């Protein structure tokens, strides 16, 4: 669900549009930050300067990146596959997974454990000796919109350690949780501010300012809007298919019909929402042309205002 400022208000059952001429997609882009999964993936893809800045700040990284790719998939036969938000590799062969997590997830610790396991697995080819892992690092960084440990710190870092009589093993992964709700005037606080920043001129770092300006105002703007439109169609299609699949898995015809009906109903409400936000039609016109009860149209409008 896009978090957009609404171009209308509802008074006495009537929809009154505001003067904002921007499309729904343009309003989203103007109001989005890198906390959004889609925007984060597009901005980070190939952006080694941004990846290096984040790694320097969060884990004291001093190397150079050789590649930065987003939405990289890792499929393991007969096991759960994953899609890495941002997978970076440095010139020494170390791997860094940077994940954006805005929605609170009670299983985030288990998810990080699984991700770093797959990350380590990908570092060793079939038939290669384990010794090839010596000196290599696999790092997973989760950028979380909330303070997962509730200690008020900007960053929480964990690694493989022995008990009090032993030093760190020197192998294994590095687990890093970044608290994006942190506010501070230190370097970590400034980078976190820039991740949440929506206006290029308000960013502290040139790397963030240049990226935000390019994707929001310059050549990248049209590309970003095209990407958003493509994903909107994909999400809508997946929503309908998921509704049908839920019914099929239940193994009863009633469940199948309910899944289809839910998919159709979700589509109808999405259509109403888009038409209202783009100021295309009045509530009465939407009701008449799409055979949707007027009270349902007004209900959608009311929920959008809450």
| Residues 239 and 188 both lie in one domain | no
User: Which residue range is the domain that position 148 belongs to?
Assistant: 29-218
The pTM of this model reads 0.68
| Residues 239 and 122 both lie in one domain | no
Please answer whether residues 99 and 143 qualify as being in contact, where contact means their C-beta atoms are separated by less than 8 angstroms. Answer: yes
| Residues 186 and 250 both lie in one domain | no
Task: Give CA–CA dist 144/180, Å, rounded.
Answer: 6
The residue out of 195, 218, 241 marking a domain boundary is 218
| Residues 205 and 253 both lie in one domain | no
| Residues 166 and 44 both lie in one domain | yes
Higher local confidence (pLDDT), 193 or 121: 193
Residue 14, domain member (yes or no): no
| Residues 172 and 288 both lie in one domain | no
| Residues 63 and 177 both lie in one domain | yes
Euclidean distance between the first and the last CA atom of the chain, given in angstroms as a whole number: 13
Task: Give CA–CA dist 151/121, Å, rounded.
Answer: 32
Residue 11, domain member (yes or no): no
Please answer whether residues 50 and 211 qualify as being in contact, where contact means their C-beta atoms are separated by less than 8 angstroms. Answer: yes
Task: Give CA–CA dist 19/128, Å, rounded.
Answer: 64
Residue 290, domain member (yes or no): yes
| Residues 101 and 156 both lie in one domain | yes
| Residues 178 and 235 both lie in one domain | no
Residue-wise pLDDT for 185-226, tens only, equals: 999 999 999 999 999 999 999 999 999 999 999 988 988 888
Higher local confidence (pLDDT), 243 or 12: 12
Instruction: Write the DSSP symbol of residue 280.
Output: -
Going by C-alpha positions, the residue among 110, 108, 160, 109 that lies closest to residue 137 is 160
Q: Which residues does 33 contact at the CB level (< 8 Å), separation at least 6?
A: 39, 195, 196, 197, 198
The residue out of 163, 185, 218 marking a domain boundary is 218
Please answer whether residues 236 and 270 qualify as being in contact, where contact means their C-beta atoms are separated by less than 8 angstroms. Answer: yes
Residue 24, domain member (yes or no): no
Task: Give CA–CA dist 29/39, Å, rounded.
Answer: 8
Residue 39 pLDDT > 80, yes or no?
A: yes
Residue 109, domain member (yes or no): yes
| Residues 39 and 133 both lie in one domain | yes
Residue 5, domain member (yes or no): no
| Residues 231 and 206 both lie in one domain | no
Task: Name the helix (H) or strand (E) containing 189.
Answer: helix 187-196
The gap from C-alpha 131 to its chain's centroid, in whole angstroms, comes to 36
| Residues 134 and 253 both lie in one domain | no
Residue 143, domain member (yes or no): yes
Residue 191, domain member (yes or no): yes
Task: Give CA–CA dist 138/155, Å, rounded.
Answer: 18
Residue-wise pLDDT for 61-99, tens only, equals: 999 999 999 988 877 667 788 889 999 999 988 899 999
Residue 264's pLDDT is 52
Work out the angle at residue 213's Cα, subtended by the Cα atoms of residues 234 and 276, and round it to the nearest 5 degrees.
45
What does residue 82 show for φ and ψ, rounded to 5 degrees? -135, 160
Taking residues 99-119, report their average pLDDT: 87
Instruction: Name the domain count of the chain.
Output: 2
Task: Give CA–CA dist 35/101, Å, rounded.
Answer: 8
Q: Where are the beta strands (DSSP E) in 185-278?
A: none
What is the number of other CB atoms lying within 10 angstroms of the CB of residue 36? 18
The residue out of 192, 218, 244 marking a domain boundary is 218
Please answer whether residues 16 and 8 qualify as being in contact, where contact means their C-beta atoms are separated by less than 8 angstroms. Answer: yes
């Amino acid at each position: 669900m896009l978090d957009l400022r609404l171009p209308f208000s509802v008074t006495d059952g009537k929809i009154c549009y505001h003067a904002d001429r921007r499309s729904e997609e343009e309003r989203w882009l103007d109001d989005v930050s890198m906390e959004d999964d889609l925007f984060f993936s597009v901005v980070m893809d190939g952006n080694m300067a941004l990846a290096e800045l984040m790694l320097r700040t969060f884990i004291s990284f001093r190397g150079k990146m050789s590649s930065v790719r987003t939405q990289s998939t890792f499929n393991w036969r007969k096991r759960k596959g994953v899609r890495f938000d941002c997978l970076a590799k440095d010139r020494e062969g170390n791997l860094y997974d940077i994940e954006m997590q805005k929605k609170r997830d009670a299983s985030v610790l288990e998810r990080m454990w699984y991700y770093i396991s797959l990350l380590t697995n990908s570092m060793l080819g079939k038939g290669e000796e384990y010794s090839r892992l010596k000196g290599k690092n696999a790092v997973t960084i989760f950028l979380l919109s909330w303070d997962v440990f509730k200690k008020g710190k900007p960053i929480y870092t964990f690694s493989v350690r022995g008990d009090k009589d032993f030093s760190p093993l020197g192998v294994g992964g590095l687990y890093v949780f970044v608290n994006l709700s942190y506010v501070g005037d230190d370097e970590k606080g400034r980078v976190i501010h820039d991740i949440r920043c929506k206006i290029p001129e308000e960013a502290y770092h040139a790397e963030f300012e240049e990226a935000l300006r390019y994707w929001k105002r310059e050549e990248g703007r049209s590309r970003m809007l095209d990407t958003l439109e493509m994903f909107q169609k994909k999400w809508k299609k997946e929503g309908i298919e998921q509704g049908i699949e839920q019914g099929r898995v239940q193994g009863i015809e009633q469940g199948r019909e309910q899944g289809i009906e839910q998919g159709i109903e979700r589509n109808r409400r999405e259509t109403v929402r888009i038409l209202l936000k783009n100021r295309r039609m009045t509530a009465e016109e939407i009701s008449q042309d799409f055979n949707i009860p007027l009270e349902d149209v007004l209900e959608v409008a009311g929920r959008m205002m809450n």
